[in-house]
Structure formats: C-alpha cells, structure tokens
Amino acid sequence: MVVSQSPLKDIGASHQLPESGLYVAIVNSSDDAIIGKTVDGLIATWNPAATRLYGYQPDEVAGQPMTILCPPDRIGEIQDILDQIARGERVQHHETVRRRKDGSDVHVSVTVSPIRDEGGRLIGASSIGRDITEQRQARAAGELARRAAALQRVNGNLESFTSSVAHDLRAPLRALAGFSEALLEDCGADLGEEGRGYAERIQAASHQMAMLIDDLLDLSRVARAEMNLQQVDLGAEVTRIAEDLQRDGLGRQVQFAIQRPVQVRADRSLIRTVLENLIGNAWKFTAGQDSPLIEFGTLPAAEEPGVCYYVRDNGAGFDAAYAGKLFTPFERLHSAGEYPGSGVGLASVKQIVERHGGRVWAEGAVGAGATFYFTLDPEAIP
C-alpha cells in the first residue's frame, strides 16, 4: 500500500481495526493485482502483484486514470465499469485484455467491487485482476486437441467413404456391363436389332459411370496427395503433353506456341495434372477449328509472386456468364454429345493450384476461344 490518494486514503490505515495491519499484509502478499480506484476511475492504491502484472511502479500510476491499463479499443470498458460501480453494483469476473507498461497486452480476469465508507457512501472501487494467459493457453490447446480429434474423425470417415467408392461402386457396373455383353454374345440373335441397341446402351452407360467414379477418386486423390515440391519447367511439361496429344491425335494438326523455360517450384505429378487438363481441354475444344492454336506462356500479375501462367486456345470458348461454374465438380458447359467429359478436370485443376498457394480463373466467349490463367505461390502454402 504505497499509494495514498484522496478521497480513498490508504484502505488499511483508514480502518481503526486492530487487524488493519493484517489486511495490508494480505493485499501486499496477494498473487492477484489489487488496485484501489476513486469513483472517477483514478488509481489510488497499487499492490506489488499489480506491479508484477502491469509493469508500473506505484508512483508511476498514482492518480492516473485506469484507462492507462487499457488497449485503445477497450477504453469504453472502463467507463462502463465505473457506471456500474456508481450504481453500487459489483462487476463479476470478466475476461478482458489489459496493456502493460511495455506496450504488450495481457489477458486478465477482473472483478470490480464498490468500496463504501462507514456511512455507506461510495468512495471508490477495488479491482482484482488475475493473469489468465496460462489458462487461456491450456483452453486453446484443449480446443485445438478437440478440433484435431474431430478432424481426424472426419478424415477417417472420408477414407472409408473413398474406399467404399473404390471397392463397392464399381462392382454393380461390372455386372451391368458384363451381363449386357454376355446377353449380346449369347442371345444377340434373339434380341433383334432394337434389343441389341438397348443392351449396348446399358454397356455404354456403365462405362460412363465407371469413368465418373474414377474421376471422382482422382479428385479426392488430388486433394489428399502429399506434396513434394521441386523445380519444374512448365514449358518442358507442356511440350511433352503436346507431343503425346499430337502422337495419339489421329492426324489432327494443332499448332502449339510454348514459352520455355518456365521454372516454378511445384509438385511435379500434381502440376502435370493441371497442365494435362488445361492443354487437354484446349485440344478437345479446338476440334472444330480450321487452324487450331494452343499457347502456353507467362504474364505479369498484380498478385504475389507477380507472374501468372496461361493456356490459351482459339476453340469453341464458353459463355462467360457461366465462368464461375467451370471449376465446380461435375458442372459442364457443353453437352456430353458435343464434347465428352465428366466435369472433374477443372475441379482438380482448382484443387491443385490452390494447394500450391495460387488461384485459377478463365476468360472466354462463345466461339472466341478460352484462356485459363493460374498463379503459383509455394511460399504461401500453409
């Protein structure tokens, strides 16, 4: 009790009780910061624990407003507390943030009680504060552990879901495809042309669904696969993909313009999936074009790390109004009869690019080709 300030005189000394010396000792030895303040919120007494908690010596805070212990965004709290005290109410344990002398913030639990003189007149308030940093950390750690456990459960469910899709969903398709083929082989003559047509449709639909399931599993693999970052020349990868397409392309003549080298840090297998999808799409959608051209290169970009990559074609393009749907799994902007596909490729592209800390977007118009842009920012990978 080093601070003495009117009208709240040294609390211990103002009492005439024989145990007053004991009260002083109790306050001084308390582990909680005990601060006496006037009805106006000026600091009157300040115990050693308050010095330990807030860093101020008693003479530095004597007569100062309580607001010096507040971060600027919490100044209003002090007035609210004073208003409550003025009404004679206690302010029960509440958790808040206070600022130390060195400018650092500390989480505290505070109780404020009105103090009255012998006549019952309100003369000030005592504020008892306790550092709850450790409790908060323990609580946060507990919360983190709970979330980790919940996440693990979800992941476990996802694994068994994926496994079930991989194992169980294909079996009925084999029966559909297999027995309709058996039907065609063994009883084809009895079926007639119409019946054979139906059996062929069953077969085709089964194969289509098998492809969908595989694409779905690929998408989930892309989301879960472990990343192994290394130096990759995107230009060289695009060249290889273009060569593969030209070789299997049934004589299609497509002109490629590929910038090389384009060095990035990426997971080679995943980033190759991105390029295969984008180049593959460009290849597919330039099918009706007389002089198809597919370009790969880089452009300056506003966002980190200052460069974006693009794949541009002069093919069928797409309706810009639906550009947002492009990257959603199973959304397709063209009918299956027009251009085959399951609508999973670009969803995989988005997953992979985002896992590399980047972003993907597209520009295009019907009949005017499409350009897909993406950025990669391995530094930003969490």
Per-residue contact flags (x/-) with another protein for residues 185 to 204, judged by CB under 8 A: ------------------x-
Phi–psi pair at 258, nearest 5 degrees: -120, 125
Window of 137-145, 168-176, 229-237, 338-346 that interacts with another protein by CB under 8 A: 168-176
> How many residues line the site for another protein (CB under 8 A)?
22
> Given the rule CB under 8 A, which of 9-17, 164-172, 334-342, 373-381 is the region that contacts another protein?
164-172
Q: Is 247 in the site for another protein (CB under 8 A)?
A: no
Q: Which residues contact residue 40 at a Cβ distance below 8 angstroms, ignoring those fewer than 6 apart?
A: 65, 82
Does position 217 interact with another protein (CB under 8 A)? The reply is yes
CB 67 within 8 A of CB 76: no
* Among the listed residues 173, 212, 229, 307, the single contact to another protein using CB under 8 A: 173
Contact predicate 131/45, CB 8 Å: no
Tokens for 128, please give them: 């008892």
Q: Are 47 and 28 in contact (CB under 8 A)?
A: yes
Closer Cβ to another protein, 22 or 175, answer by number: 175
179 binds another protein (CB under 8 A): yes
**Cβ–Cβ under 8 Å, residues 221 and 163:** no
Which of 181, 331, 354, 363 is close enough to bind another protein by CB under 8 A? Answer: 181
Position 223 contacts another protein (CB under 8 A): no
Q: Which of 207, 252, 260, 268 binds another protein (CB under 8 A)?
A: 207
Annotate 272-339 with three-state secondary structure. HHHHHHHHHHHHHHCCCCCCCEEEEEEEECCCCCCEEEEEEECCCCCCHHHHHHHHCCCCCCCCCCCC
Verify binding: residue 167, another protein, rule CB under 8 A.
Answer: yes
Q: DSSP secondary-structure letter at 302?
A: S
Please say which residue, 126 or 220, places its beta carbon nearer to another protein: 220
Site residues, another protein (CB under 8 A): 162-163, 166-168, 170-175, 177-179, 181-182, 203, 206-207, 210, 217, 221
